[in-house]
Amino acid sequence: MKSDTVPELPPHLQPGCVQTMQAVDAPRERSYYINSPEYWGQPKRDGSRLIVIAAADKVYYQSRSTKIKRQPCEEINQALQQAAIKLGMFILDGELYYPSVTGSEHRTAAQAATVNAMQGISTSPTPIYAIFKALWFSGNDLTIFTETERIAAAEKISQCLRKDFFENLPTARSQKQKEELVLKQESEAREGEVWILKNCVYTGGKDKHSQAMLRTKYCLELDLVVTDLTLVKGTGRPFSAAVVAREIAEKLVPVGSVGTGFSLQDMREIIRRHHAKPGSVKITVRCLGLTENGNLWHGRFIGLRE
């Protein structure tokens, strides 16, 4: 989908041209970033990266892969336009996720709806846009500014947005705040944290050698092979769980099964592929680690591997 050109913006901030700054795995323990005054922390959200370019007459949505996306919902679109009328054009960098009634975060509405249905609730999930930082505000290209200034600009913009559809991602600045962030993330079984050098400039892409934006995780993500599907009658689901295995030294090592995180569409596609070619279906699963027996500990389906 071809996007429009926005005259006020430089080439690297045009819709479909913004290269997102991506976190890489932290080379040090969490304690280093907690104790370092140079790093600030933010909770890691489990959604899809989304750049928002908001003007009074139109809002553009861009994925991490620079594809132009449709609006998440009319409420979010209207709120962004109204804020742009008041504040002028702005660009936000953030993540779109769908919370379930249990508080879990999901990349799609279908995944969150599946969790809701398992709780006996038919409520449609509401998208939340978590704001990391601003890249353009008050006529300024903030990518050449510091992370401190980008976060401060985002906090100003977020004050004009609806709290039921937007989240100004909390930023832990002091050592105490960072300790509280880590404790909260771990106790709630969240993904982890993102640590940002507060004085860094914005560098698009993923640089394994960069120390500007790092992530620490509690969860383990594994690419697994579906070896079987367990069927339970009367559940209304195509299957109950996927029996999975790890590929280690060209051998399949069983690691148990995973039965959560699937949308109905995911399940139908997995069944289709599995019936067409058993043993060829690969999925990504996130878990809190492996048990002493080598099985998944609280595994959850994340997505299909091509």
pLDDT at 191: 81
pLDDT tens digit string along 52-75?
A: 999 999 999 999 999 999 999 999
Q: What is the pTM of this model?
A: 0.76
pLDDT at 1: 47
pLDDT tens digit string along 237-257?
A: 889 999 999 999 889 999 999
Sign of the C-alpha dihedral computed for residues 106, 109, 114 and 116 taken in this order: positive
pLDDT at 110: 85
Mean pLDDT in each 10-residue stretch from start to end of the chain (306 residues)? 80 96 92 97 94 97 95 97 98 96 87 85 92 98 97 97 95 98 89 94 85 89 94 78 94 94 91 94 89 85 86
pLDDT at 234: 66
